[in-house]
């Protein structure tokens, strides 16, 4: 499953009397949210590339349908944006059941005939 990473021109909220730029977010191919990164520091591409920022909290969208999901926080924060993306992709690789229903592959059961091509 490929995620689309977007840098949006939005703020993460008011903190210490200044607005901070939101970190990039991951979306499924149908434009539904998949991954959210939170950090004490506002997003700046140069700082993100250098890794000179506070650890990133990684939130994963766990879907129960195409319209309903719950954000789940990974236990271990990521030190870099690339590591955060890798952690997120690892979760979705191990747990395809977290995908929105429309993106889930039908599961094969024991005894089902193999798919014809």
Q: Structural domain tally of the chain? A: 1
In a domain, 80, yes or no: yes
Question: Would 116 be classed as within a structural domain?
Answer: no
> Per the domain annotation, does 36 fall within a domain?
yes
Beta bridge partners of 48: none
3-class DSSP state for residue 104? Answer: coil
Flag whether 109 is in a domain. no
Q: What is the phi-psi region of residue 55: left when phi exceeds 0, alpha when psi lies from -120 to 50, beta otherwise?
A: beta
Q: Cα(68)–Cα(49) distance, rounded to whole angstroms?
A: 33
Averaged pLDDT score across all residues of the chain? 85
Owning domain of residue 53: 4-103
pTM to 2 decimal places: 0.79
Euclidean distance between CA atoms 82 and 1, whole angstroms: 17
The CA distance from 36 to 28, in Å, is: 12
What is the per-residue pLDDT across 89-110, written as a single tens digit (0 to 9) for each?
A: 999 999 999 999 999 877 644 4
pLDDT in tens, 50-84: 999 999 999 999 999 998 999 999 999 999 999 99
């Amino acid at each position: 499953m490929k995620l689309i990473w977007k840098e949006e021109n939005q703020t993460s909220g008011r903190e210490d009397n200044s607005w901070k730029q939101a970190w990039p977010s991951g979306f499924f191919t149908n434009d539904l949210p998949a991954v959210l990164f939170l950090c004490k520091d506002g997003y700046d591409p140069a700082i993100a590339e250098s890794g000179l920022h506070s650890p990133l909290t990684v939130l994963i969208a766990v879907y129960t349908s195409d319209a309903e999901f719950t954000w789940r926080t990974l236990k271990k924060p990521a030190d870099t944006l690339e590591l955060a993306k890798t952690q997120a992709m690892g979760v979705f690789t191990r747990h395809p059941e977290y995908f929105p229903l429309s993106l889930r592959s039908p599961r094969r059961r024991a005894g089902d005939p193999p798919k014809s091509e």
